[in-house]
Amino acid sequence: MNIEKIKEHIDDVLIETNFINLGEKKVGKVRDIYIGDKTITLVSTDRHSSFDRIIAYIPFKGEVLNQISLFWFENTKDIIQNHVLSTPDANVLKARKCSPLPIECVMRGYITGVTGTSLWSHYKDGKRDFGNFTLPDNMKKNQKLVEPVFTPTTKSDEHDRPITPKEIVSEGILSEDLTKEIERVSKALFARGQKIALSHGLILVDTKYEFGLDENGKLTLIDEIHTPDSSRYWKAGTYQEKFDKEEEPEYFDKEFLRLWFKDNCDPYNDKILPKAPEDLVVELSRRYIEIYETITGKPFLHDFDTKIIDRITKNLA
């Protein structure tokens, strides 16, 4: 989709929803979640979250995230059942109700990252033994790991805590059998993701999965899968050349919008934030659409004749 088309529709964004017949509403960073008796309705909005708050509304973002997740749910359902029941609208997912496990399953294929919890940050500070795997000396940033590693964390409203599979069992969080199963499934999902992404010219660098138990106690993949919000992607064609030159890989970058806010305000403390510049919003929208088309191999088709909220309301009726 070209820039001009995005500019035309820059104000038709899905900020929030308020459906009264779908169950109790909970508001996530990006999704509005309606909890019914047996099903959950997940509505992906165009909210863009950073600094623990909403900083902008990005046209088509919710639709792109929902459709990418659906693509991956469909392409991994032979590995594990997922919570998808139906998709009544491009932004909406009807899901079976599951009891979420209190562990976030993080998979990493490369040693990278800049945050305090990243593999590279720990490694350059001297850590080699990560509990369930050990890394050799003399690794470089962005280097491919000999094999992908499973680095789960706890779930917390404050800060997620890295935890080893052994600790998950010893702290009584999950049984040993269930812990082994989520590790096995996470590795299988990641291998599938890396294989399909590479066939489309992308490297799936790292990602996170969430699991729950359905009404029969069966392990189920929930939430989202392999979206650009939950995963890191690099461009495969230039990776080796960039790595050899010790340059950062080409990647799907959302950071430019964060940096603009850091340069123009105090995003953690200012009560009111400035409005994101239109050209940056349009460019981020274009990038979301580009990664959708790259991953799925399909053109992004949007119904331009109906306002998003009107279309969703009609489709959910």
**Architecture field, domain 99-244:** 2-Layer Sandwich (3.30)
Cβ–Cβ < 8 Å for 197, 204: yes
Q: Is the pLDDT confidence value at 276 over 70? A: yes
Q: How much is the average pLDDT of 261-271?
A: 94
Q: Tell me, what's the pLDDT at 62?
A: 97
Q: Tell me, what's the pLDDT at 254?
A: 85
Which pLDDT band holds residue 252 (cuts at 50, 70, 90)?
Answer: confident
Q: Tell me, what's the pLDDT at 215?
A: 94
Is the Cα torsion angle 44, 45, 49, 54 positive or negative in sign? negative
**Can you tell me the distance from the alpha carbon of 150 to that of 109, in angstroms, rounded to the nearest whole number?**
9
Q: Is the pLDDT confidence value at 18 over 90? A: yes
Query: What DSSP element (H or E) covers 219?
Result: strand 219-222
Cβ–Cβ < 8 Å for 47, 29: yes
Q: Give me the helices (H) in 171-254, please.
A: 176-199, 236-244
Matching residue, tokens 């659409």: 289
Q: For residue 185, give Cα distances in angstroms to 36, 156, 191, 268, 297.
A: 28, 23, 10, 37, 25
Q: How much is the average pLDDT of 218-232?
A: 96
Q: Residue 6 — φ and ψ, nearest 5°?
A: -65, -45
Is the Cα torsion angle 69, 71, 75, 80 positive or negative in sign? positive
Cβ–Cβ < 8 Å for 135, 128: yes
Q: How much is the average pLDDT of 264-284?
A: 95
Q: Tell me, what's the pLDDT at 65?
A: 97
Q: Is the pLDDT confidence value at 23 over 80? A: yes
What's the token pair of residue 50?
């950073």
Listed by start position, the domains of the chain span 3-97+262-316, 99-244
pLDDT tens per residue, range 27-48: 999 999 999 998 999 999 999 9
Q: How many CB atoms lie within 10 A of CB 146?
A: 9
Q: Tell me, what's the pLDDT at 217?
A: 97
pLDDT tens per residue, range 113-166: 887 778 999 999 999 999 999 999 999 999 999 999 999 999 876 677 899 999
pLDDT tens per residue, range 238-251: 999 999 999 999 99
What's the token pair of residue 118?
């990243």
Cβ–Cβ < 8 Å for 273, 264: no
Looking at domain 3-97+262-316, its CATH superfamily turns out to be: Phosphorylase Kinase; domain 1 (3.30.200.20)
pLDDT tens per residue, range 132-141: 999 999 999 9
Q: Tell me, what's the pLDDT at 224?
A: 97
Q: How much is the average pLDDT of 274-299?
A: 96
